[in-house]
């Protein structure tokens, strides 16, 4: 290879080395994002794929690619690679999108969505039992502060005064009843456009300064059929709740684990409350922490009072999931409850895979054959790599001593 080729390969080698020590960087990345200038954050998130939604009443139908059975409906823009976990914990991946239809292939059963009986009876952990209940433990905000419920609010959207604030308020009120300290933020983030998450990010960062255990962005869906979310549970008419996780952020693994914990608990204690989990292209400001989720409480054609009741049922169970020992709360599950520490190794793994694939591809193209590629790797192991780790100098010194 010529000097330019050696330089390129050297850069690839250096990047691999950086990736190997990048786990701490990935874990502090959310804190770095908090301090970035707004213009840089804006470019970063747009490049990563901002969350997008259709207007209320416009929606995508997700179909099984084998038999075209309806799997789901959503007012979010759906992309190839997005995934859904259904109410019955069947997991699907979107393979193609055509107009207002998306087609998905079944991956299998999400077998890690399980809540064990012993987690309900075990005493709270010492850390949770000693928690300062005056400190904010759950923070709530609303990126789309105009979202409303037509039957009760009279419109699907009321700028800066959406009915969604009352749904968040119902969630906060129930948590406070259980002795949980809540910061229920009512900051508006109009207009309802692609930059709404950029504006709401400032609110999210402000809320996170109090170090809450969980940060919830409360929304509602825009699917026209109210029965799609309607549910009769524990003697009350409520709406179901969908959990949304962004797949373009370094905390994707931990946020998804948190969502699965919630669904596992609800499946056991509040069956039918959770509509499912949508894993979509986007960030949703979830890079800011490991327990940052987006909730969709019903849809715009639901009665808001049903949505408020659904939010209250959700809040009633949340302390147990979060391992909070509230003033009047039930004993929390142990820290070993479904792991939320699948850390950022998944992200690093993808980085390493891409870099190594690029390196192999570069070698193959530059040498013209697999045999030539193997030969070059052998040559590099004796020269560039040896020099990189200082082995070349040692080898030359030993050689010179022998000659002497």
Q: Per residue in 261-311, pLDDT tens? A: 999 999 999 999 999 999 999 899 999 999 999 999 999 999 999 999 999
**pLDDT tens per residue, range 311-345:** 999 999 999 898 875 433 344 444 444 554 444 44
Closest among 215, 220, 210, 221 to 254, alpha carbons compared:
215
Question: Domain range spanning residue 394?
Answer: 3-34+346-403
Question: Could you tell me if 396 and 298 lie in one domain?
Answer: no
Q: In what order do the strands lie in the sheet with 90-98?
A: 70-74, 60-64, 101-109, 90-98, 83-85, 274-280, 241-246, 292-299, 214-221, 138-141, 182-184
Taken in order 174, 176, 182, 188, the sign of the CA dihedral is positive
Handedness of CA 106, 112, 115, 118 (dihedral sign): positive
Q: Are residues 352 and 304 in the same domain?
A: no
Question: Which CATH number does the domain housing residue 196 bear?
Answer: 3.40.630.40
51-80 exposure pattern, b = at least 16 Cβ within 10 A, e = fewer? bebbebeebbbbbebeeeeebbbbbbbbee
Task: Give me the pLDDT at residue 376, please.
Answer: 64
Q: How many domains does the chain have?
A: 2
How do residues 226-263 score in pLDDT, each as one tens digit? 999 999 998 999 999 999 999 998 999 999 999 999 99
Residue ranges in 303-390 assigned as alpha helix (H): 304-322, 345-367, 370-382, 384-388
CA 311 to chain centroid: 20
Is 132 a member of any domain? yes
Read off the pTM: 0.72
Are residues 157 and 204 both part of a single domain? yes
Mean pLDDT confidence for 128-148: 78
Q: Are residues 206 and 309 in the same domain?
A: yes
d(CA 66, CA 77): 22
In a domain, 270, yes or no: yes
86: which 2 tokens? 């259904």
Whether 150 and 261 map to the same domain: the answer is yes
Residues 284 and 395 in one domain: no
Token pair of 294, please?
């987006």
Tokens of 364: 């193959």
Say if 360 falls within a structural domain.
yes
Q: Where are the alpha helices (DSSP H) in 178-281?
A: 196-208, 252-269
82 in any annotated domain: no
Residue 67 lies in a domain: no
One domain for residues 23 and 172: no
Q: What is the pLDDT of residues 38-77, one digit of tens each?
A: 334 333 343 334 456 677 778 999 999 999 999 999 999 9
Tell me, yes or no, whether 78 lies in a domain.
no
Q: Say whether both 251 and 377 belong to one domain.
A: no
Place of tokens 């960030």: 283
Name the pLDDT band for 351 (thresholds 50, 70, 90).
low
């Amino acid at each position: 290879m010529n000097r330019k080729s050696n330089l390129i390969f050297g850069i690839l080698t250096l990047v691999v080395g950086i990736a190997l020590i990048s786990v701490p960087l990935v874990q502090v990345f959310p804190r770095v994002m908090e301090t970035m200038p707004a213009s840089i954050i804006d470019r970063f998130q747009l490049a990563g794929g901002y969350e997008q939604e259709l207007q209320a009443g416009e929606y995508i139908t997700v179909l099984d690619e084998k038999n075209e059975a309806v799997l789901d409906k959503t007012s979010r823009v759906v992309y190839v690679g997005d995934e859904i976990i259904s109410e019955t914990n069947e997991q699907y991946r979107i393979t193609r999108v055509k107009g207002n239809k998306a087609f998905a292939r079944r991956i299998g059963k999400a077998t890690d969505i399980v809540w064990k009986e012993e987690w309900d009876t075990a005493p709270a952990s010492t850390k949770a039992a000693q928690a300062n209940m005056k400190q904010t433990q759950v923070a709530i905000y609303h990126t789309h502060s105009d979202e409303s419920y037509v039957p009760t609010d009279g419109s699907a959207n009321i700028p800066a005064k959406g009915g969604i604030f009352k749904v968040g308020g119902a969630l906060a009120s129930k948590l406070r009843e259980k002795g949980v300290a809540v910061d229920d933020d009512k900051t508006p983030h109009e207009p309802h456009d692609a930059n709404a998450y950029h504006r709401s990010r400032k609110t999210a960062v402000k809320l996170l300064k109090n170090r809450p255990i969980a940060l919830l962005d409360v929304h509602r869906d825009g699917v026209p059929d109210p029965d799609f979310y309607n549910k009769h549970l524990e003697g009350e008419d409520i709406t179901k709740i969908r959990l949304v996780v962004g797949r373009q952020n370094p905390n994707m693994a931990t946020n998804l684990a948190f969502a699965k914990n919630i669904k596992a608990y609800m499946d056991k204690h509040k069956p039918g409350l959770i509509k499912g989990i949508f894993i979509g292209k986007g960030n949703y400001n979830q890079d800011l922490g490991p327990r940052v989720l987006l909730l969709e409480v019903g849809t715009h054609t639901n009665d808001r009072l049903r949505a408020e009741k659904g939010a209250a049922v959700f809040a009633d169970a949340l302390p147990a999931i979060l391992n909070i020992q509230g003033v009047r709360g039930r004993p929390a599950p142990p820290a070993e409850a479904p792991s939320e520490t699948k850390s950022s190794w998944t992200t690093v793994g993808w980085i390493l895979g891409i870099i190594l694939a690029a390196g192999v591809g570069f070698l193959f193209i530059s040498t013209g054959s697999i045999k030539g590629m193997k030969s070059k790797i052998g040559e590099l192991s004796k020269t560039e790599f040896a020099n990189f780790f200082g082995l070349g100098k040692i080898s030359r010194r030993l050689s010179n001593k022998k000659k002497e």
